[in-house]
């Protein structure tokens, strides 16, 4: 009895308790161990074995961008930048070198030398170190094949920029520190610059001295130190150069020179013979450019592109410093253009190597003809006189000489391919790099916008052709119906829904022609009353449906940047009866882009078959038959023919005093077309930055439209051309001559065989 109570007394119970706690602890650990080794074992093993393998990446080449004729618009150019550390530029390197040399030369005395004595010793050898550095720069200039002065200048520029930057950063830091101390202590504290002067980032990294050297030069730079003078301990007395692989994206057709025949210009601008016109930033908006910063969105997009096997993910992933397409086709076709890296897996334990070759990016072939593109851009450059405000333009509210911004689109009617698409102003990638503010901060000219597809504009009278064909097809307008132009739609309201002829000349088309108007005549003279009536009869719903059928509200998915799909109706899509009447002449709540206009006219020229415009030559065609009544198409074609070929047509001539001058003067072609002068919302800026008022109106007036289709004489239309010039006033006077020059450009590039070239325009080269 005593034995058993002894054996299991309090102490033993306590021992048992402690042992149980211990055992419990170890059971928990065992359970954790079991989970790790069994449930997670395979994954963890794979993780651990990853360390046995190293991965090396081999570069891939980005695909090229080609134009319709196989010209290379963008390609990778292997190139290297040569950089040196900032301390070399600042002179710090030479000082350090001198200090080291002084120490080595006076090893015994150095330890005991006073500070001033040391300074003296250093000063003695400084000239030698500086001479070494001169030698270094000389050799660098030699390999770079650049005058030494240029290298010196570059170094001076870098030094100045970095010092300015450091001064700014330090001053800001000083102010911050003072404010912080003031907040903490409640007293004004002065912080000296010395207390905050830490090297800024620019002082710690290498700076590029020579850009874009060739392969051979890069090799020479890498070997440069071999030729350096050597100090007594065998170390080179030149600083290290850093050769950075900066394979560049090159755009050979970014700047071009094209011959323009000024003899075909309107008489005030006409000059004899050809003029070589330099065009900068050709197709910049279409092609885009590259940036070297990688954002998270790029990774995410890549992930969705290459979700097939995960392999592609790691071979396609972005590394720091990779180039990424930005804007235009470079961005939109990033997945096509960017290739997959090659990979070499080395198993460290066995030495076995697995190689996956790199896969180059695919080429992108565009439908653009870069020579045509350059010509179109040339005629739209303000230098030639057509694209800036002129006395003879009349109607613009802007001062004479103001450059006019705008856009043009040229479509191949049978295929829907975009042959040229110009927006002005354009810019070069150099401007983009050097002065991005000029491009992205200009709220008035907005150079970054691709006006041909990226900004919505009121269409104006060019839609009258669509209205006539729609109304006849929908049965709300009989083909032989005539409408009398009374100057304004409502007999008792002379202040609203007026015809342009009434507004400008206080007369009517009835008075001008002597009879009520038929459809083609109404197109010819662009009678508003006729089309107000047609639109009122169509009604809001059917009218809107016609706009939609012609492409308003639909994306083209060109893949070259933001697309303004156009708008219909108010914020919720609502269209009142009054809105519908306005929309009959392309005003009111409707907007579209120059590409919409070219597309709609191409659709009419195809007999109602709409082929969505495309710019990727390998993209499949998307076509839809709008089922437009053939008689309606004939009436429209007749109207468009009259408008530019008949003396009374709004698109027929320019008038200089008593002299009438036809807008279209290319021989051997047939032209159909329509003018549009569309009231546009004004652009106002806030000059003092203090609020909505007073505001300064910087752009006001009408947008000038002209849309034509053109073909060789006696043949159906082959190309559709839309031109829109912002705030330029009259469609006929401003956009008309530009349209005419685009026809000349098509002829010069051989697009209208059979059309005779004007004598001076013996087809010049480009490029």
Partner 1 sequence: MSRLRVTLLRAELWTLIGSAIALSLLGIYAIDVASGGKSVGLSPLAMKQGVYLGVGILLAAASAIPSYRRLGPIVWLLYAAAVGLLLFLLIPAVPHSIVRPRNGARCWIDLGPFNFQPGEFAKIAFIVAVAHHLRYRDSYRRVLGFIPPAAITAVPMLLILLQPDLGMASLFVPTLFAMLIAAGAKLKHVALIVALGLASAPAAYPFLLPHQKGRIDALIKQAQGDYSGKESSQYQQIKAITLAGAGGVAGLGDRHSRVVLDFNDLPEAHNDMIFSVVVNRFGLLGGLAVIGLMLTWIGSAVVIAGRTKDPFGRLIAVGLAAMLAVQAAVNIGMCLGVAPIVGITLPFISAGGTSMLASLAATGLLANIAIRPPQRLARQSFEFGQSD
For residue 600, how many other CB atoms are within 10 A of its CB? Answer: 28
Least CB distance from residue 345 to partner 1, whole Å?
14
Is residue 515 close enough to count as binding partner 1 by CB under 8 A?
Answer: no
56 versus 235: smaller Cβ distance to partner 1: 56
Token pair for residue 736?
A: 């008309």
Least CB distance from residue 317 to partner 1, whole Å?
17
Give the CA distances from residue 691 to residues 442, 444, 511, 685, in Å, rounded to whole numbers and listed in that order: 19, 18, 50, 10
Pairing mode, strands 342-347 and 53-58:
antiparallel
Binding characters for partner 1, 538-567, by CB under 8 A (x = yes) = ------------------------------
Is residue 685 close enough to count as binding partner 1 by CB under 8 A?
Answer: no
For 230, half-sphere exposure in the C-beta direction (CA atoms, 13 angstrom radius) is: 7
Is residue 444 close enough to count as binding partner 1 by CB under 8 A?
Answer: no
30 versus 314: smaller Cβ distance to partner 1: 30
CA distance 419 to 208: 40
Q: What's the 3-state SS for 172-233?
A: HHHHHHHHHHHHHHCCCCCCCHHHHCCCCHHHHCCEEEEEEECHHHHHHHHCHHHHCCECCC
Least CB distance from residue 17 to partner 1, whole Å?
7
For 573, half-sphere exposure in the C-beta direction (CA atoms, 13 angstrom radius) is: 7
30 versus 576: smaller Cβ distance to partner 1: 30
CA distance 582 to 60: 55
For 235, half-sphere exposure in the C-beta direction (CA atoms, 13 angstrom radius) is: 9
Instruction: Give the length of the chain.
Output: 767
Token pair for residue 57?
A: 């990446």
Give the CA distances from residue 487 to residues 521, 542, 561, in Å, rounded to whole numbers and listed in that order: 16, 26, 43
Q: Which stretch binds partner 1 (CB under 8 A): 33-41, 77-85, 742-750, 754-762?
A: 33-41
Is residue 9 close enough to count as binding partner 1 by CB under 8 A?
Answer: yes
28 versus 762: smaller Cβ distance to partner 1: 28
Of 49, 119, 311, 383, the one binding partner 1 by CB under 8 A: 49
Q: Which stretch binds partner 1 (CB under 8 A): 5-13, 204-212, 516-524, 614-622?
A: 5-13
Q: Which stretch binds partner 1 (CB under 8 A): 39-47, 98-106, 662-670, 749-757?
A: 39-47
Is residue 147 close enough to count as binding partner 1 by CB under 8 A?
Answer: no
9 versus 147: smaller Cβ distance to partner 1: 9
32 versus 443: smaller Cβ distance to partner 1: 32
Is residue 25 close enough to count as binding partner 1 by CB under 8 A?
Answer: yes
Least CB distance from residue 31 to partner 1, whole Å?
10
Pairing mode, strands 406-412 and 719-725:
antiparallel
Bond into 442 cis (ω within 30): no
CA distance 410 to 368: 9
Is residue 1 close enough to count as binding partner 1 by CB under 8 A?
Answer: no
18 versus 496: smaller Cβ distance to partner 1: 18
Q: Which stretch binds partner 1 (CB under 8 A): 15-23, 393-401, 468-476, 614-622?
A: 15-23
Is residue 37 close enough to count as binding partner 1 by CB under 8 A?
Answer: yes
Least CB distance from residue 299 to partner 1, whole Å?
16
Of 30, 164, 267, 763, the one binding partner 1 by CB under 8 A: 30
For 627, half-sphere exposure in the C-beta direction (CA atoms, 13 angstrom radius) is: 2
Whether the Cβ atoms of residue 558 and residue 604 lie closer than 8 Å to each other: no
Is residue 12 close enough to count as binding partner 1 by CB under 8 A?
Answer: yes
46 versus 108: smaller Cβ distance to partner 1: 46
Q: Which stretch binds partner 1 (CB under 8 A): 12-20, 263-271, 619-627, 689-697?
A: 12-20
Is residue 56 close enough to count as binding partner 1 by CB under 8 A?
Answer: no
Of 1, 4, 11, 413, the one binding partner 1 by CB under 8 A: 11
Q: Which stretch binds partner 1 (CB under 8 A): 45-53, 297-305, 463-471, 613-621?
A: 45-53
CA distance 330 to 561: 10
12 versus 270: smaller Cβ distance to partner 1: 12
Of 4, 19, 366, 551, the one binding partner 1 by CB under 8 A: 19
Footprint (CB under 8 A) of partner 1, residues 331-370: 348-349
Is residue 58 close enough to count as binding partner 1 by CB under 8 A?
Answer: no
CA distance 656 to 638: 27
Give the CA distances from residue 609 to residues 545, 599, 622, 630, in Å, rounded to whole numbers and listed in that order: 16, 10, 10, 12
Is residue 48 close enough to count as binding partner 1 by CB under 8 A?
Answer: yes
CA distance 641 to 635: 10
Is residue 227 close enough to count as binding partner 1 by CB under 8 A?
Answer: no
Token pair for residue 101?
A: 């040399």
Least CB distance from residue 34 to partner 1, whole Å?
6
Q: Which stretch binds partner 1 (CB under 8 A): 29-37, 171-179, 230-238, 508-516?
A: 29-37
CA distance 484 to 492: 15
Q: Which stretch binds partner 1 (CB under 8 A): 49-57, 115-123, 142-150, 608-616?
A: 49-57
Strands (E), 484-589: 567-568
The separation between CA 120 and the C-alpha centre of its own chain, rounded to angstroms, equals 59
Is residue 182 close enough to count as binding partner 1 by CB under 8 A?
Answer: no
13 versus 205: smaller Cβ distance to partner 1: 13
CA-based nearest residue to 421, from 702, 613, 651, 670: 613
Which residues contact partner 1 by CB under 8 A?
6, 9-12, 14-15, 17-19, 22-23, 25-26, 28-30, 32-34, 36-38, 40-45, 47-49, 51-52, 348-349
């Amino acid at each position: 009895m005593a034995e058993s109570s002894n054996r299991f007394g309090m102490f033993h119970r306590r021992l048992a308790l402690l042992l149980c706690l211990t055992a419990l602890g170890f059971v928990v650990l065992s359970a954790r161990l079991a989970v790790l080794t069994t449930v997670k074992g395979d994954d963890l093993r794979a993780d651990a074995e990853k360390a046995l393998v190293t991965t090396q990446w081999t570069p891939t080449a980005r695909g090229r961008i080609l134009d319709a004729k196989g010209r290379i618009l963008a390609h990778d150019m292997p190139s290297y930048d040569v950089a040196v550390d900032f301390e070399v530029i600042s002179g710090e390197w030479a000082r350090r070198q001198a200090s080291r040399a002084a120490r080595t030369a006076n090893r015994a005395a150095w330890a005991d030398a006073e500070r001033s004595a040391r300074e003296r010793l250093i000063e003695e050898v400084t000239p030698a170190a500086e001479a070494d550095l001169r030698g270094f720069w000389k050799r660098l200039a030699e390999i770079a094949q650049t005058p030494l002065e240029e290298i010196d200048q570059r170094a001076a520029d870098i030094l100045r920029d970095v010092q300015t930057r450091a001064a700014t950063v330090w001053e800001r830091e000083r102010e911050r520190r003072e404010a912080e101390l003031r907040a903490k202590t409640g007293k004004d504290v002065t912080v000296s610059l010395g207390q905050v002067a830490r090297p800024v980032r620019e002082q710690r990294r290498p700076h590029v001295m020579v850009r874009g050297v060739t392969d051979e030069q890069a090799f020479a730079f890498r070997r440069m130190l071999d030729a350096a003078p050597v100090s007594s301990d065998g170390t080179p007395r030149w600083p290290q150069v850093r050769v950075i692989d900066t394979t560049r994206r090159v755009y050979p057709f970014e700047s071009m020179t094209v011959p323009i025949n000024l003899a075909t210009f309107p008489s005030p601008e006409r000059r004899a013979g050809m003029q070589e016109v330099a065009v900068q930033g050709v197709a910049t908006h279409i092609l885009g450019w590259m940036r070297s910063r990688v954002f998270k969105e790029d990774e995410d997009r890549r992930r969705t592109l290459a979700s097939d096997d995960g392999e592609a993910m790691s071979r396609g992933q972005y590394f720091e410093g990779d180039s990424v397409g930005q804007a235009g086709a470079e961005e939109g076709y990033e997945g096509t253009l960017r290739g997959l890296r090659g990979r070499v897996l080395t198993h460290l334990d066995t030495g076995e190597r697995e190689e996956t070759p790199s896969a180059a990016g695919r080429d992108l072939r565009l439908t653009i003809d870069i020579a045509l593109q350059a010509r179109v851009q040339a005629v739209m450059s303000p230098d030639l006189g057509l694209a800036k405000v002129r006395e003879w333009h009349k109607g613009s509210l802007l001062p004479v000489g103001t450059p006019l911004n705008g856009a043009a689109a040229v479509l191949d009617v049978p295929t829907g391919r975009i042959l040229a698409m110009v927006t002005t102003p354009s810019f070069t990638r150099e401007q983009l790099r050097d002065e991005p503010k000029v491009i992205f901060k200009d709220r008035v000219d907005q150079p970054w916008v691709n006006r041909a597809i990226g900004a919505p504009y009121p269409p104006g009278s060019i839609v009258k052709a669509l209205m006539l064909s729609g109304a006849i097809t929908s049965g709300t307008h009989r083909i032989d119906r005539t409408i009398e132009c009374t100057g304004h739609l409502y007999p008792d309201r002379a202040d609203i829904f007026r015809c342009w002829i009434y507004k400008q000349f206080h007369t009517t088309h009835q008075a001008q022609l002597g009879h009520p108007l038929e459809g083609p005549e109404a197109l010819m003279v662009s009678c508003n009353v006729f089309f107000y009536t047609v639109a009122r009869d169509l009604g809001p719903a059917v009218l809107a449906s016609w706009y939609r059928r012609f492409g308003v509200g639909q994306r083209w998915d060109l893949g070259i940047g933001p697309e303004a799909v156009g708008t219909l109706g108010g914020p919720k899509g609502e269209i009142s009866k009054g809105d519908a009447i306005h929309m009959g002449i392309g005003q009111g709540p409707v907007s579209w882009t120059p590409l919409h206009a070219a597309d709609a006219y191409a659709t009419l020229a195809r007999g109602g078959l709409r082929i969505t415009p495309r710019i990727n030559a390998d993209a499949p065609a998307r076509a839809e038959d709008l089922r437009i009544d053939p008689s309606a198409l004939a009436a429209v074609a007749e109207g468009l023919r009259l408008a530019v070929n008949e003396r009374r047509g709004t698109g027929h001539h320019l008038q200089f005093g008593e002299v009438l001058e036809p807008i279209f003067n290319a021989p051997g072609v047939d032209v159909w077309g329509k003018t549009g002068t569309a009231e546009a919302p004004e652009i106002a800026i806030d000059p003092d930055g203090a609020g909505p008022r007073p505001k300064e109106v910087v752009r006001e007036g009408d947008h000038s439209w002209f849309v034509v289709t053109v073909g060789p004489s006696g043949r159906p239309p082959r190309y559709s051309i839309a031109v829109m010039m912002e705030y330029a006033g009259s469609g006929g006077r401003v956009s008309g001559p530009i349209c005419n020059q685009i026809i000349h450009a098509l002829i010069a590039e051989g697009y209208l065989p059979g059309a005779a070239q004007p004598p001076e325009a013996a087809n010049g080269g480009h490029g």
